[in-house]
Amino acid sequence: MSIRQWPAAERPREKLLAQGAGALSDAELLAIFLRTGVAGKSAVALARDLITDFGGLRAMLRADLAGFSAARGLGPAKYAQLQAVLELARRHLAEELQRGDALSDPLAAERFLRARLRDLDHEVFAALFLDAQHRVLAFEVLAHGTIDGAAVYPREVVKAALRHHAAALIFAHNHPSGVVEPSAADRALTERLRQALATIDVRVLDHLVIGEGVPASFAARGWL
């Protein structure tokens, strides 16, 4: 039976319009994106199979062009559409941190940083630069690394803070392993950066470690 023959309350699109996107399962949301199924399978059934085959929705969203396009019912056109949707989501989160806006909601920074860093397959160290009123000045990636590390130099971070005329920073880096627990090296680096930035009167407000689940916050743990 095709989705068009389902009761209206069970069709993903109608269900979304009536109850909101949060009421839909991963497969139902993906089915709306797919629009159509394949021979012998509805869009919802195909979506369930794809999520299972990829090992989860997030793994599917992270797939490269070749891996994504090789799956039944997908292809380069769908890959392009999906990347556009993901980029729209990132830009939507970035609008919460528009230049000149006061950072009144710390969770907005967390959502933005998670969206930018969580799904990378290599380690990246980045910072949000803020003025004295904690208004966002800029976001900048300060270092790219391998699967397990990124070289961060305090002198370059100080230069970046001066370039952006920052009064405060929020650091963030990702752990590609998914484990958010900060390492001893993470703590040591943060302390070196804090000391270097203190010489130019720039405060480090937090350092977030991004991975699976809730990011680890140095500030919440009393480490800053």
User: Does 206 lie in the same domain as 154?
Assistant: yes
User: Does 33 lie in the same domain as 104?
Assistant: no
Residue 71 falls inside a structural domain: yes
User: Does 135 lie in the same domain as 42?
Assistant: no
* Boundary (domain end) residue, out of 36, 65, 91: 91
Residue 222 falls inside a structural domain: no
Burial code (b: 16+ CB inside 10 Å, e: under 16) for 36-63 equals: ebeeeebbbebbbbbbeebeebeebebb
Residue 44: give its domain's CATH number: 1.10.150
User: Does 133 lie in the same domain as 85?
Assistant: no
Report d(CA 211, CA 170) in Å as an integer.
17
Residue 119 falls inside a structural domain: yes
User: Does 126 lie in the same domain as 86?
Assistant: no
Among candidate residues 161, 170, 164, 172, the one with its CA nearest the CA of residue 204: 170
Per-residue confidence at 43, pLDDT binned at 50, 70, 90? confident
User: Does 74 lie in the same domain as 109?
Assistant: no
Mean pLDDT of 54-66: 86
Residue 224 falls inside a structural domain: no
DSSP label at 5?
G
Per-residue confidence at 163, pLDDT binned at 50, 70, 90? very high
**Is it the case that residue 2 has pLDDT exceeding 70?**
no
User: Does 136 lie in the same domain as 40?
Assistant: no
- Number of domains into which the chain is organized: 2
**Is it the case that residue 13 has pLDDT exceeding 80?**
yes
Residue 56 three-state SS: coil
**Is it the case that residue 103 has pLDDT exceeding 80?**
no
Residue 79 falls inside a structural domain: yes
E-strand stretches of the chain? 124-130, 136-146, 149-150, 168-174, 203-210, 216-217
Given this model, what pLDDT does residue 94 score?
Answer: 67
Residue 223 falls inside a structural domain: no
User: Does 113 lie in the same domain as 38?
Assistant: no
Residue 165: give its domain's CATH number: 3.40.140.10
User: Does 79 lie in the same domain as 106?
Assistant: no
Report d(CA 215, CA 212) in Å as an integer.
8
Residue 76 falls inside a structural domain: yes
Report d(CA 153, CA 68) in Å as an integer.
37
Mean pLDDT of 167-195: 93
Given this model, what pLDDT does residue 108 score?
Answer: 77
Q: Looking at mean pLDDT, say which of 89-103, 132-146, 185-199 comes out highest.
A: 185-199
**Is it the case that residue 217 has pLDDT exceeding 80?**
yes
User: Does 117 lie in the same domain as 79?
Assistant: no
Mean pLDDT of 52-71: 88
User: Does 117 lie in the same domain as 85?
Assistant: no
Enter the tokens of residue 196.
């270097």
Instruction: Determine the structural domain holding residue 74 and report its residue range.
Output: 3-91
Per-residue confidence at 96, pLDDT binned at 50, 70, 90? low
Mean pLDDT of 187-214: 95
* Boundary (domain end) residue, out of 65, 91, 117: 91
pTM over 0.85: no
Instruction: Give Cα separations from 48 to 34, 55, 75 (angstroms).
Output: 12, 11, 17
User: Does 126 lie in the same domain as 75?
Assistant: no
* Boundary (domain end) residue, out of 35, 60, 91: 91
Residue 129 falls inside a structural domain: yes
